[in-house]
Chains A and B, each alone.
Chain A
Amino acid sequence: MSATGRAPKGNRLLQALPPGDWDLLAPHLVSTPLNLRDSLERLNRRIEEVCFPETGIASVVAEHPNGRSIEIGLVGCEGMTGSAVVLGSDRTPHATYMQVAGEGYRLPVARLRDVVTKSVTLHSLLLKYVQAFMVQTAHTAIANARGTLTERLARWLLMAHDRVPDDDLKLTHEFLSLMMAVRRPGVTEALQTLEDAGLIQCGRSRITVLDRKGIEKVAGAYYGIPEAEYRRLMR
């Protein structure tokens, strides 16, 4: 089903489009469920579609030649997949897939390229998002170098919480361990630390945020800069 005639709902990037640009894009946007593990981009393969999530979270994962992967960024209702396409490229050495199921819009890459050449304002908005995403990746690099596992977990939970409508995150320890490139017992211990402090509640494959401010305090300076940069760029 195409999005023609409807106002964009949950995706903030689409919401930020001037009406003329929305009209250019809307006929080509296809509303779609985004299921857990749905692959949006594959490693070094041609990107066929970009995706604007309304709910749910996609992970951009850098794959290492020796097979170990690590998350370098999250994409949710604030953004889009396919930064490489916005930059005129057609693939990346990264993979992108859904980590928290949701819904969103898909757009064939050819249509995006087409529309971007027709509208400077549209391209410039998407390039701003690319910058915001780059800042996010840079801060992943800082957190990985400097943050304790608990600080990194707190940062991750806040970033995920920013992108879901309620306080429940459907996530397994295994997934978190993969994302943060640490062993599962380490993740379990860090979750336990946050749970003992009354900040989260952990169930089987589910983490409930109880005290966001408390989590922010734990994450400290590791959370916030990319978010502030996003707000600055999108205002």
Chain B
Amino acid sequence: MATVARFSPGNQLLKSLSTADIELLAPHLMTIVLRVPRDLEQPNKKIREVYFPDTGVASVVAINPGGAEVEVGVIGCEGMSGLAVILGNEQSPHSTYVQIAGRGMRISASDLRDAMGQSCSLRSLLFRYVQTFMVQTAHTAIANARATLAQRLARWLLMAHDRVASDKLSLTHEFLSLMMGVRRAGVTEALHELAHLNLIKATRGEITVLNRRGIEKMAGSYYGAPELSIVVWWFRANRILVQFRTEFRKSDSLFHSKSLVDPCHVMAFPDGRGPNTCSRLK
């Protein structure tokens, strides 16, 4: 059945900070509710606040002057908005808004900048997160070019499912059509395809994940590589390693895919910590 241990509660990025770094940020973090469709960033407008979701999903949407919008990435409990701020800039041409309601923490862009200016370890952690987001965007580009609509839908559902605490995703067909840059009729057809296989149940405004493994099979290799890069990044952060491995064994489906191999085997760790830690855990 679908309910598996995915990300544990709370924002993983904040949880992987060192005590010193969390102390640097904590006085400026405010708990907030993320409602739909709250704007976290507007295109080409100064970014004032940066968000770390605990639950819920935000979409980063690229817009072109012809009015075409396509989602280029999602952000949930594994990450944060404000990539442009991390990279030292004030704005981006993308729009970022909440797609699935949730909760999280907020910090002003200027407080984040100050904290980054004071801590090398904070900077380096956030830069690594940017790297994982770049990989996600690249794989969105692949899926958009090559995958069938049903495969893309499956990929999207898995990415959303990874980031919410329940098997019910509050989503309309209209929203999915916008996100995937296809017509609504196409989305409806793809949803039917998945529902017909008993992988999901789609009702008005809600999609329930019934069989996650089945959806993973449908998504095939279009799902998994960016998730692997997040795992690798966690390994590097090295603080939630134990927790991750426990979950990984338990569920075998946190980032399950046929191509998924133990990140320890694909990645060498220049500082020598990762693989040793892993072998100790084994």
Interface residues of A (CB under 8 A from B): 44, 46, 60, 62, 64-66, 68, 70, 72, 83-84, 86-94, 124, 127-128, 130-131, 134-135, 137-142, 144-146, 180-182, 220-222, 224-225, 228-229, 233
Contact = CB atoms under 8 A, between A and B. Distances in A.
A87 B127 contact: yes
Contacts of B135: 92-94
A145 B180 contact: yes
Contact of B137 (A88, A134, A180): A134
Interface of B: 60, 62, 64-70, 72-73, 83-84, 87-89, 92-94, 124, 127-128, 130-131, 133-135, 137-142, 144-146, 180-182, 220-222, 224-225, 228-229, 257-259, 266-268, 270
A141 B144 contact: yes
Contacts of A144: 141, 144-145
B181 A145 contact: yes
A72 B225 CA distance: 15
A235 to B, nearest CB: 12
Which label, helix, strand, loop or mixed, suits the secondary structure of the A interface?
Answer: helix
14 contacts: A72-B142, A88-B128, A89-B127, A93-B135, A131-B87, A134-B133, A134-B137, A140-B141, A142-B62, A181-B145, A221-B66, A221-B67, A225-B64, A225-B93
Contacts of A180: 145
Contact of B146 (A60, A94, A135, A181): A181
A65 B64 contact: no
Contact of A66 (B65, B93, B180, B220): B220
A71 to B, nearest CB: 9
B83 to A, nearest CB: 7
Contact of A93 (B93, B130, B181, B229): B229
Contacts of B144: 141, 144-145
A228 B267 CA distance: 36
A44 B218 CA distance: 25
A225 B139 contact: no
Contacts of B60: 138
Given A86-B127, A180-B145, A181-B145, 10 more contacts: A64-B221, A65-B225, A68-B146, A87-B134, A91-B267, A93-B135, A124-B88, A127-B87, A134-B83, A141-B141
A64 B266 CA distance: 15
Contacts of B180: 145
Given A64-B221, A138-B62, A141-B140, A131 B84 contact: yes
Nearest to B257: A65
A139 B138 CA distance: 10
B270 A90 contact: yes
Contact of A62 (B131, B138, B267): B138
A86 B124 CA distance: 10
The 4 closest A-B pairs by CB, nearest first: A221-B66, A145-B181, A65-B259, A144-B144
A229 B94 CA distance: 11
